[in-house]
Amino acid sequence: MADVEAEDRENLKAENAAFARRMGSQFKMLREGKNWSQEALSEKSGVARNYVGQVERGERSVTIFTARRILRALGVTLSKFLSDMTE
């Protein structure tokens, strides 16, 4: 039983990492679509530039609140962003 639970945790960890990378790629695509640097997005969203970079690379998970700040700066709603990620 413990082996199954450990395997489930590892699978969830891998799925979460893949989701973070997909989400980061989507943020990056939106930012680049506006021809903005990470610095420009940082200034417009109030999110630190190094954090933006980590999120875009999938190295950091982003809270829903920070995602909203970034997306508001990009002119995209959270619902649209998540909808586009599932398509």
User: Rounded distance, CA 55 to CA 25, Å?
Assistant: 9
Domain that holds residue 61: 2-86
User: Rounded distance, CA 68 to CA 12, Å?
Assistant: 24
What confidence tens digit (pLDDT) does each residue in 14-67 have? 999 999 999 999 999 999 999 999 999 999 999 999 999 999 999 999 999 999
CATH code assigned at 10: 1.10.260.40
Residue 54 makes CB contacts below 8 A (sequence gap 6+) with 60
SS3 at position 47? coil
Q: What pTM value is reported for the model? A: 0.86
Return the C-alpha torsion angle 32, 34, 40, 45, nearest 10: -100
The total number of structural domains that make up the chain: 1
Confidence of residue 7 (pLDDT cuts 50, 70, 90): confident
30 neighbors 44 (Cβ within 8 angstroms): no
